[in-house]
Amino acid sequence: MMQDLLNQDQRLCLLRSLNDCGGNANDSVLQDCLDQYGHTVTRDVIKTHLVWMKEQGVVSLVDLSGCYVATLAQRGYDHIEGRSAVPGIKRARRT
């Protein structure tokens, strides 16, 4: 239960970070961003979230020799703007 809440929050933070980075970033930058949100996780955790989020259609993902580069998809942008909700990602509050 608690791990599900953490996963959902980490995924929302990843989407927000991608948006803040202009729409795309690699897994190393995203790991640093999650640190800023208070989530100290391994690169493997970041990659696992990115693969999961790709399956949900909120990001696209390119593997460059083991370095993942994620790009925010429209569905992910709609989620962080509060226009839609993606199960498994913490619901964003509209500001």
In tens, the pLDDT along 49-83 reads: 999 999 999 999 999 999 999 999 999 999 999 99
Residues 6+ apart with CB under 8 A from 79: 12, 15, 58, 85, 86, 89, 92
Contact 68, 55 (CB under 8 A): no
The pLDDT of residue 93: 79
Chain mean position to CA 56: 11
Go through 17-26 and write b for each residue having 16 or more CB atoms within 10 A of its CB, e for each that does not.
bbeeeeeebb
Residue 94 lies in a domain: no
Whole-model pTM above 0.85? yes
Q: pLDDT tens for residues 15-43?
A: 999 999 999 999 999 999 999 999 999 99
Residue 95 lies in a domain: no
The pLDDT of residue 92: 87
CATH number at residue 12: 1.10.10.10
Residue 87 lies in a domain: no
Contact 77, 92 (CB under 8 A): no
Which residue range forms the structural domain that includes residue 30? 2-80
